[in-house]
Structure 1
């Protein structure tokens, strides 16, 4: 049959594409797979036999039978008769190695121990290039004599820390101390490897890329590509409250500053005036790794004025020290004072809980893991804080108190403490559950109404006025169920549950909120309704917080 040339050419191309080429591919692939399978089996055979020999079974044999199965003959074990260690040709004794004499000649265990010895005694003390060579010197019966030669190589010192990118945003000397990279000190390979983890613990900077290391003239230069992170926050609101014929000015300021003076100094200031004669002030200043050492310092001051009834101050000053990764321990001195501002009528004395002036001098112990988040983020996170205080309390106006308010000791011991945990868990791509359980308590035989802890407000028990509850102890859990619109903006539902030391017993809160993160700030609106157990919700009593928090 005659087939035109054009059709014939097309037919050939079709056969090549849909028949011949797949057939050729299948043939080549089959050969390749067979070859790979054979190579893989051989590699497994060699790997198993080498592992057995290095594990101390020098007579081990591995073979492949006719059905491509591996046959393993372990053989007898061999033992270390002696292991000699030399450091730069000088004999040395090390218990890590000496303990292996008489045991199975497992080179994996030996290498692990000698590498640990080199890491501690060389890599962390200025010899990052040090290495250890193992050689088998003699094999007699089932006894093996081996030697290890450790070569220290060059002695390396730190020369400089080079900051690129936004490096001007932090003081170089402060960061060198924070990372434990000190000029002219022996190079420590562990500290270099921990650079990324340590910078992750800083709120105000991050790394754009991995740290770079260069050696020249027995000096080590570390280069970091720094990226500034906006963590400073400022939120303020001013309001007016009519009171009879007068109008009182109220307001709130919340400022959180980080990395002041480019040396990691953090300052928090929270002030709120919630009535004509009532206000609250809380200030904190702290710096980690001060004075070119790992030691940190902290200072705090609180002031609470409750109408014309009492004035309360709380002064704390102390130090903190890192003990492991993100874990730090703190020790502080506290002076807590309560001053009664007016005299009480006989009717008030019989109807009110006792109010007394007092002074407490105490020592605080604090344990903290990581730092609190500055704003909600879509990531797994864990923060915890534990504190304990021991002090001596003195009632300073004891002699002038009404008789029925003198039914307590003038001097007494006081103990207080508590914990706070912040846990975040991402569920799916956009959902996150946030739980903040906390507990606090105070124990003292001479507690007055103005000595009690106060609870309520946006900072803890939402849906209630600030400092609404007085209590000797409380257990509280804040729960937020967030749906993130992007990495830092979210809509959330909230619930709070609290157990108080009062006749109210349990209280709870329900509500919703919206956090919208912009380039230069963060818009927030929260509605929360607080209720006592056994009462019906009253939506007219709900609390609304609306504001814009500037971030810079």
Structure 2
């Protein structure tokens, strides 16, 4: 008896599941063969799990017919042929091609309508039927941007016209008063600098309210080093006020950067070390300020000290100030001190312009001056610069996709023998070409040119090393003109590890010794993002154009950048 019971139960369950998995076929036809072809061309779903799915498919199909001009289409019937088959008949009726929409030119600008229609007159415009929904949505969004987020737009008094056209009036309902931002409430990072709201995001009280524009602006928070957007902004409407809520988080923006390099001294054959320390402090006073301190010492017995301060939006104005002090000393030959003061204007989150003064003083330290190319001098330049930065904040390893910096300076160099006009040009740019999620190509260009009638050794530009052409000693190359190309093919193993190639090239001129030369650097490297920061290892070998590779000229550079 028990076996029979289990057998009956098994058969019941088996057939129940077969019933649940049963497919229902749907065939839709028109009143004519031509109408049926139109329906088939819309690509409706012919297989359904149940009757409700069939109803939803028919509703969707009728909406598609309306969008292409069959505004009067009618569902005639739904007939069940058998347990697995249904048929339906739809009468398409007349197809309309165009519509003439009459509007009030005091409510809607003609310039707005020109963006959606090629036929706009003073009191009406013409649209294709298929474009109606998209066009009305666009018009409504334009009205919303003017401070009317609750505006309503619809077509009324629709009538048939000859030649498959329609005529309608455009009805607009808007509140009597525009919506403006009455209050801005910060959530999360409540001490976020107010000047950045006004000048960086360009969001302030009494501004006409437009949520789409505000959401676009607040995404620019992610371009800042010291803050990011937690979630999209929200708004609270009351009868007479509009309160905007911004959700911001303060991020770790201080950075400590350093590297250790070692290689073989060509003269002594001994191992030598060089390196630098670079400290960046950002927004510790909740003002958006930044302070950079750098100390560098290399194997050529050269020391560099830099202090760089940037104070944005002084006195709540769109103007900021950048101050720089740089001291360079080469063994016992000379020291050079640079002092710079610039004002900057943040055009928008990606673009910035600079203007200022750069003063330089260099002193000859040689007690017995047998080197006539080193002498005391002073210069004063008027400088102008432009900067563009395009971030890619989703990538922790490579947060900046592209950057351009251009600077030019015009001034005079003064010595005991008189003064001389000089011009200095600086250029730096880099770009990451993301081939896919793991592979990318990086290229960096940088160079400088000092234009003068005569030159001194202690005013030449210095380059070479990990931040210039790799495979050469730090600041070992002196030039009146130079250009460097750095390239890397990068493979990102994970979100925290990458490996890359090194192929560098450079060209420089030194008019003091009347030489010009081409340089090349080849090697490989890898990066590892740890809790301590970004650890980077580079191995590169440098050579001149007419020299052979020599492994003893190879350089290993190790750096660690820590955010805190």
CA 1:131 to 1:441, structure 2 compared with 1: closer, same or farther past 3 Å? Answer: farther
CA displacement at 1:251 relative to structure 2: 6.2
Relative contact order, higher structure (CA 8 A, sep 6+): 2
Report the CA distance shift for 1:249/1:431 in structure 2 as closer, same or farther (over 3 A): closer
Correspondence 1:111-126 to 2 at 5 A: 111=136, 115=140, 118-119=143-144, 122-123=146-147
Q: Does 1:299 align with 2:323?
A: yes
1:146-225 map, 5 Å: 146=169, 149=172, 151-165=174-188, 167=189, 170-177=191-198, 178-183=200-205, 186-187=208-209, 189=211, 192-216=214-238, 218-225=240-247
CA separation in 2, counterparts of 1:230 and 1:26?
60
For residues 442 and 149 of structure 1, do their structure 2 counterparts lie closer, same or farther at Cα, with a shift above 3 Å needed?
same
**What is the match of residue 505 of structure 1?**
517
Match of 2:444 among 436, 443, 449: 436
* Corresponding residue of 1:479: 487
Question: SS of 1:225's equivalent?
Answer: strand
Q: Is the 8 A contact 2:299 2:473 kept in 1?
A: no
Q: Which secondary structure state, in structure 2, belongs to the residue aligned with residue 230 of structure 1?
A: coil
Q: Which residue of 2 aligns with 1:252?
A: 276
Counterpart in the other structure of 2:425: 416
Residues 261 and 556, structure 2, Cα contact 8 Å, conserved in 1: no
Q: 1:446 aligns with which of 432, 448, 454?
A: 454
Query: By how many angstroms is 1:202 displaced?
Result: 0.7
Question: 2:552 is matched with which residue: 509, 518, 540?
Answer: 540
CA deviation profile, 1:97-143 (whole Å, cap 9, x unmatched): 696337753385975785576356x32xxx54455666569999999
Q: TM-score, normalised by structure 2?
A: 0.74
Does 1:457 find its partner at 2:482? no
Instruction: State which of 45, 64, 67 in structure 1 corresponds to 2:65.
Output: 45
How far does residue 261 in structure 1 lie from its aligned partner after superposition?
0.6
TM-superposed CA distance for 1:199, in Å, is 0.5
Decide whether aligned partners of structure 1 residues 71 and 389 sit closer, same or farther in structure 2, where only a CA change above 3 A counts. Answer: farther
Deviation of the 1:452 alpha carbon: 2.5
Instruction: Please state how far the C-alpha of 1:171 moved relative to its aligned partner.
Output: 3.5
- 1:138–1:366 distance in 2 versus 1, CA, 3 Å: farther
The DSSP-based 3-state class of the residue aligned with 1:256 is strand
The 2-side partners of 1:93 and 1:24 are apart by 53
Q: Structure 1 residues 79 and 129 mapped into 2: Cα distance closer, same or farther (>3 Å)?
A: closer
Offset from partner CA, 1:198-228 (integer Å, 9 cap, x none): 2111112222322222224633333333333
CA offset at residue 440 of structure 1?
Answer: 2.8
Counterpart CA distance in 2 for 1:542 and 1:429 is 32
1:207-286 map, 5 Å: 207-216=229-238, 218-235=240-257, 252-274=276-298, 278-286=302-310
Could you list the per-position Cα deviations for residues 337-376 of structure 1 after superposition, in whole angstroms to 9, with x for gaps in the alignment? 4333346656x44xxxx34444333333322222679998
- TM alignment of 1:28-39, pairs within 5 A: 29=48, 32=51, 38-39=58-59
Change (3 A) 1:15 1:64: closer
Deviations 1:146-177 (A, max 9, x none): 56656344454544443334x15x43534533
Instruction: Go from structure 1 to structure 2 and tell me whether the alpha carbon gap of 1:390 and 1:522 turns closer, same or farther (over 3 Å shift).
Output: closer
1:45, 1:143 → 2: CA distance?
16
Deviation at 1:323, TM superposition (A): 2.7
The number of equivalent residue pairs is 511
Corresponding residue for residue 44 of structure 2: none
Equivalents in 2 of 1:239, 1:38: separation in Å?
A: 72
Query: 1:476 Cα shift?
Result: 1.6
Indicate which of 328, 333, 346 corresponds to 2:357. Answer: 333
Deviation at 1:21, TM superposition (A): 5.1
1:316-395 aligned within 5 A: 316-342=340-366, 348-349=371-372, 354-370=373-389, 377-378=396-397, 381-395=400-414
Q: Secondary structure at the match of 1:511?
A: strand
Contact 1:238 1:250 in 2 (8 A): yes
Measure the CA separation in 1 of the matches of 2:58 and 2:286: 62
Give the drift of 1:68: 8.5
> Are residues 317 and 148 of structure 1, via their aligned partners in 2, closer, same or farther at CA, if it must alter by over 3 Å?
farther
Q: What CA distance in whole angstroms lies between the structure 1 residues aligned with 2:393 and 2:104?
A: 56
Residues 432, 250 of structure 1: alpha-carbon distance in 2 compared, 3 angstrom cutoff: closer
For residues 174 and 191 of structure 1, the distance between their equivalents in structure 2, rounded to whole angstroms, comes to 19
1:385, distance to aligned residue in structure 2 (A): 1.8
TM-score, normalised via structure 1 length: 0.76
**Is residue 64–residue 71 contact of structure 1 (8 Å, CA) maintained in 2?**
no
SS state at 2:68 partner: helix
Post-superposition shift, 1:455? 0.9
Alignment partners' CA distance in 2, 1:205 and 1:421: 25
CA contact under 8 A between 2:300 and 2:476: conserved in structure 1?
no
In the alignment, structure 2 segments of 5+ residues that lack a partner are: 27-46, 77-87, 115-119
Q: Is the 8 A contact 2:160 2:166 kept in 1?
A: yes
Segment drifting more, 372-381 vs 181-190: 372-381
- Residue 321 and residue 531 in structure 1: after superposition, are their counterparts in 2 closer, same or farther (change >3 A)? same
Q: Distance in 2 between matches of 1:190 and 1:232?
A: 32
Cα deviation, 1:68-116, whole Å, max 9, x if unaligned, reads 89797556x6657x743456xxxx9866569633775338597578557
Q: Secondary structure at the match of 2:283?
A: strand
Distance 1:371 1:341 in 2: 44
Match of 1:517 in 2: 529
Distance in 2 (alpha carbons) for counterparts of 1:472 and 1:217: 68
